[in-house]
Structure 1
Amino acid sequence: MVPTLTNVAAGIPSSKVKYSKLSSPDGGHMSLKFKKSPTNIPYKAIACATLQFLIGAFLIITGCLLLAGYISKTGANRAFPVLTVGILVSLPGCYHLIIAYKAHRGCQGYSYRDLPDCDD
């Protein structure tokens, strides 16, 4: 005995199911889930990330110049704290600038929604 395929929901054998073509491909239903919404570029977040990166880069350069002895002869007493703060300030700025750049380029997996919300 060969089992026959049945429509599980209705219990109707598959040979008795009639199919008809829909009038439109989406059946008159319009899904907004798949529509692209206009991208709102978070200018404040990008400006904050740029400022963080520039301040961090300035502090890193200043720390390197202090360590080399070009600015003053104090040496590592002032250089390491300046370098540490510079690195800690520039890392999040660089990270958010990379996200903004890749979102602008349209790379898959990156969007402006990944940036922090600076609107108060």
Structure 2
Amino acid sequence: MYIGQAAHRSGTTIKSIRHYEAIGLLPPARRRGNYRVYDQHSVDLLSFIKCAQQLGFKLKELQAAFASQNGQPLSWVQAQQAITNKKQEINDQIAALTQRHAQLVEFESSLHHAWENCALEGP
């Protein structure tokens, strides 16, 4: 299939496909004259990349995972490890945001307390 059909089937754009090829996420397509020709494996890989991005993976993270494959398809074990790492990253962010929220609540309370003291001691 040509690039337009691969883009449509994977839910990506032609521009994205060209970009993924340029940065090594997608192997270069076979050529039929001046046209790129993609197979179902490429469409599956494009769908995987799109889904991973929607779940918070950065292209650089995907590049690192794919680079360790030396041209071989990403294995389930490696995909699972990448998912585990991303979940831990999100848990760390949640913990940091929870702590920041608690600090803001405490700060707000201290400001409110100081304001009440000033209002009581006023002229």
With normalisation by structure 1, the TM-score equals: 0.31
- Normalized per residue, the structure richer in helix is 2
Q: Identify which of structures 1 and 2 has the higher relative contact order when contacts are C-alpha pairs closer than 8 Å and 6+ apart.
A: 1
